[in-house]
Structure 1
């Protein structure tokens, strides 16, 4: 659904201001590459916190405490 909305907005921008739409089509991969390390860092931090939570909750799961 997000892709459909993005494509619809891009075509609307293409009709209203085609130079900006073409600039966006070329700059989007570069912006994505710049933001990719931050997404990877966020994912790894989230996984570390889930792992720590699983380690801390393991004794309670073994004992059957809810």
Structure 2
């Protein structure tokens, strides 16, 4: 909601820039998508490594 209000304010102050932002947003989102996927992959990899490293402690009944 806050983003929409900011866009409306930008539209009132400088409508060509607001329209450019509206048109460019899907393109920027598509360009950022591979980086998000890489981030999700690395996060999952680190969680897997963490689970493997803490597995002996969990088996032996260690508590946090």
Normalized against structure 2, the TM-score is what? Answer: 0.93
Distance 2:43 2:35 in 1: 12
Aligned pairs, how many? 63
Normalized against structure 1, the TM-score is what? Answer: 0.90
What is the CA RMSD across the aligned residues, in angstroms?
A: 0.7
**Consecutive aligned runs of 4 or more in structure 1 exceeding 6 Å deviation:** none
After superposition, the C-alpha distances for 1:5-62 in whole angstroms (9 at most, x for unaligned) are 1111101101100110001000000001011100110110011000110111111111
List runs of 5+ in structure 1 lacking aligned partners.
none
Distance 1:47 1:8 in 2: 36
Residue 41 (structure 2) aligns with: 44
Post-superposition shift, 1:65?
1.1
List runs of 5+ in structure 2 lacking aligned partners.
none
